[in-house]
Amino acid sequence: MTDQEMYHELAYYTLSHPDPRFIHQHVVDAFTAQTATPETKSIAIYYALVGLYLFIEKSYTGKEVQMAHIKLSNTPKVFEALGLPDYRGDFSIQDVLKRTAGKDRDDAIHKWCVSVWDIYKNQRTPVKEFADRILFLN
């Protein structure tokens, strides 16, 4: 199964998930950041990393991250290219899908997000500064 096919399978799971926290947003952000290439638009990488930052460090729900993305989209900005990490982590969407649907898979989604946020440790400062400036987190 390709990464994109695995993403669609996991998206089916998260979009039909009864939890109102909207965990699908975390899947979108982790997948976008982990699979980004030099051809990926900078805005997509920034939004994905902002989403992971808000989830992992600020305990935002997926719904709250989605609302933050809307707020970010209402502010004009220029996105400088972020360097992409060579190493993409040792936990991926494939590992998430191996877990049993329910709490085990939901916990794996969180672990995946932490793993992806960790691989971008050298790009965190500009992402955090951008998010904090626009969203008034500080």
Count of positions (residues) in the chain: 138
Q: What pLDDT sits at residue 14? A: 97
* 80 pLDDT tier (thresholds 50, 70, 90): confident
Domain of 94, in residue numbers: 3-10+20-135
Give the pLDDT band of residue 79 (cuts 50, 70, 90): confident
Instruction: Answer whether residue 81 is part of any domain.
Output: yes
pTM over 0.75: yes
Tell me the pLDDT tens digit for each residue of 43-78: 999 999 999 999 999 999 999 999 999 999 888 777
Residue with tokens 């699979």: 35
- Asked whether residue 1 carries a pLDDT value surpassing 60, the answer given is yes
The predicted-structure confidence for 2-33, as pLDDT tens digits, reads as follows 999 999 999 999 999 998 899 999 999 999 99
pLDDT in the model for residue 138: 54
Q: Tens digit of pLDDT for each residue in 82-92?
A: 899 999 999 99
> How many other C-beta atoms can be found within 10 angstroms of the C-beta atom of residue 1?
11
- Residue 15, in any domain of the structure: no
In a domain, 99, yes or no: yes
pLDDT at residue number 137: 62
Does 125 reside within a domain? yes
**How many structural domains is the chain composed of?**
1
Residue at 128 is within a domain: yes
Q: Per-residue pLDDT for 130 more than 70? A: yes
- Picking from 14, 16, 22, the residue whose alpha carbon sits closest to that of residue 54 is 22
Q: How buried is 44 (Cβ within 10 angstroms: 0-12 exposed, 13-18 middle, 19+ buried)?
A: middle
Residue 124 domain-assigned? Answer: yes
